Structure 1
């Protein structure tokens, strides 16, 4: 039997490193973790305690019911017993067992730090497939965390799209401009006035909200064009969301559509499945090389400090990783 060191969410704002016994099952492979990505969106819900208690874990290795104490995480890059670099949707722990079918083999075109973005790149591609951008449209992305930035990376590669990126962190401005997008900081300028000017008064054709803010979603609704589409890709946890639907939403015949990565949208047709999408994810990781968005490294043993750090919302923080090889 092997024993992993694992990150446990014990109570709101309480994280501990505990031992977690591992029992190998038939035909499983042993993996030693190298580096792991922390989700500053989903995982902060567990850190803060605002998640739907009792919800079932839907990935290998997670707690069967999401209630304290629990292990969580889904971005783990390691090396298996055959010496292969692999990615696994495994929680934050120093080693794990997995079925061969649950592992993604990494080739030399994808570094370990690029690979920690795999789940978020899959999310971003799912959002793009749900958004279905059309050449000539003006599209906004609200919220430039990791997922928002990856959506922006993908949209910036679409020809003849007028891209607007919105965030309250001024540090995102040079990133947005580097992608050829217009950056709007709603704390410094009016979103409504800026969109009206950029679109000649027409409004946004499509938009993506990944800010996990109901007020941001409301702001987007107010600047959409007639029959505009908003993809809502935020997870609000257990927080209620209140929207005003009697104005722009109603009169402009707007659509708000949820995007969630667990399934492939049926509108894509029978030719699409998760395997085909994952092939595209690996290609995107190789070409985009998102490792430049890693801003902070913490040794695995300092995971409790990493979550405290992320929760403070530092201006320049984007992706935080746990390094299992760093003492």
Structure 2
């Protein structure tokens, strides 16, 4: 059996190809896809050909292969129904809706250990956001927000908005966000940000700095989380951070060179840069947290936030080139684009 699949065939070029589906092993299932989601961060890097050479596509997802050698498939948010199962799989799984970390294709074979049952109360479209919510949960765990802190989230794409939504549940003195796109700032405020500034507007940035420092060098941010994918945002975080503040670097810059300003406030304010990435849980948390607990937390957060409202564009599978171009350009009010397979 062959499935239709989206392949990256060159930088900024995708095409519909075919993927051979192996006969089901005893512990495997066949999934008929309902939806798959395009990640505006990582998948834009992939589409634009900006992956670091020699780096595995994703350390968590074995089926993505060892690296980016054209043509290749990439994607990690697929929702569908189990339509066939191997001999060792309980038949009760047939017709169950599941999530899989899998590239974009209309049918997929996966071991049962790699599929996640979607809770009955979660809509299939909402379940597409599971990896985004799990990432946001991980970033907040690494950030360790504390009572009455001043926090800034830079970048209000899907993961940035989800991070704001989680932080809005904490008793913070200030929760601010920054993004150059107006409709994202509006969503951020609706999710609980006390203020949302245009990160490219010098006057708004200066006003936030004045609010944070009020003429005192010992004030400033307690915590910043950089999620924009723009190195300049990291420099803004350094400028606005107070003494002994934490800056969580959650963006993946790909092969983009990073000109980080470490010559100004960085050393005198004793700032801490914290690398955060969803593939592994921080060692200091691993005594109490494992991937199962984090996944359970993500499902609960997903139910509270209802991120399906972030879907702005639906595409047919055959429109894959247009979909990736739009997501990469961040045009036409795009926030989350999904492929529909029905």
Question: What band does the TM-score fall into relative to the shorter chain?
Answer: over 0.9
- 1:162-192 superposed Cα distances (whole Å, 9 cap, x missing partner): 1001111111232222233211113333424
Q: How many residues align?
A: 324
CA distance in 2, matches of 1:284, 1:86: 18
Instruction: State the alpha-carbon separation in 1 of the partners of residues 117 and 213 from structure 2.
Output: 44
Contact 2:151–2:172 at 8 Å: present in 1 too? no
Q: Which residue of 1 aligns with 2:226?
A: 209
Deviation for aligned residue 1:161: 4.3
Q: Which residue is 2:52 aligned to?
A: 52
What residue is the counterpart of 1:107 in the other structure?
119
Match of 2:198 in 1: 185
Aligned to 2:21: 22
Structure 2: segments with no counterpart, 5+ residues: 84-93
TM-superposed CA distance for 1:112, in Å, is 1.2
Q: If the length of structure 1 is used for normalisation, what is the TM-score? A: 0.95
Query: Structure 1: any 5+ residue segments left out of the alignment?
Result: none
1:80 has 2:92 as partner: no
Q: CA deviation at 1:46?
A: 1.3
Q: Which residue number in structure 2 is paired with residue 194 of structure 1? A: 208
| Aligned equivalent of 1:174, options 169, 186, 193 | 186
Within the candidate set 246, 259, 262, 1:229 is matched to: 246
* Structure 2 residue corresponding to 1:66, chosen from 65, 68, 72: 68
Q: What is residue 10 of structure 1 aligned with on the other side?
A: 9
Moved more, 17-26 or 49-58: 49-58
- 1:136 to 2:148 alignment: yes
Once the 2 structures are TM-superposed, how far is the Cα of residue 61 of structure 1 from its aligned partner?
2.3
- Out of 323, 328, 331, the position equivalent to 1:311 is 328
Mapped partners of 1:26, 1:180: distance in 2:
47
Bigger CA drift: 299-308 or 224-233? 299-308
Deviations 1:95-127 (A, max 9, x none): 111111111101221111111111111110000
- Quote how far apart the aligned CAs of 1:64 are: 2.9
Where does residue 278 of structure 1 map in the other structure? 295
266-275 vs 184-193, which moves further:
184-193
Cα drift, residue 26 of structure 1: 3.5
* In 2: Cα distance, 1:161 partner to 1:101 partner: 42
Paired residue secondary structure (1:71): coil
Alpha-carbon separation, structure 1, partners of 2:144 and 2:262: 24
Judge conservation of contact 1:74–1:91 (CA < 8 Å) in 2: yes
Deviates more, 1:187-196 or 1:103-112: 187-196
CA distance in structure 1 between the aligned counterparts of 2:75 and 2:53, rounded to whole angstroms? 17
Asked if 1 retains the 8 angstrom alpha-carbon contact of 2:9 and 2:70, the reply is: yes
Which runs of structure 2 are paired with 1:226-265 in the superposition (5 Å)? 226-265=243-282
